[in-house]
Amino acid sequence: MLGDIKVVNIIEDWDVLAEYAGEKLGFYQLLGNEGAIEIRVQTGRIGFKKEFKAGDDSELLKILDFCKKHRYIQISEHLRDEEFFK
């Protein structure tokens, strides 16, 4: 089982992820957290996450625009494989 552990390396600088991404497939997720919005973006083994106080924050909108232009897939939730089909 130990070989099944996968790691995402979290970085704090959005521009680094945007440059690293190139044409790689990516995913993003928006989470509500006590009135704030958290965005998480992953491409390859690199991830970025940040919380914003408002949905109209210019950096958040820039990140969402990037995700849409690069056709990243929005993730709504996650489940273990064995729990997906019942």
- DSSP string for residues in 12-62: S-HHHHHHHHTT--EEEEEEEETTEEEEEEEETTEEEEEEESSTT-HHHHH
Q: Which two tokens stand for residue 55?
A: 């949905």
Residue range 59-77, pLDDT digits in tens: 999 999 999 999 999 999 8
Encoded amino acid at 74, one letter: Q
SS3 state of residue 72: coil
Q: Which two tokens stand for residue 84?
A: 């997906």
- Higher per-residue pLDDT: 39 or 55: 39
Residue range 10-42, pLDDT digits in tens: 999 999 999 988 888 999 999 998 889 999 999
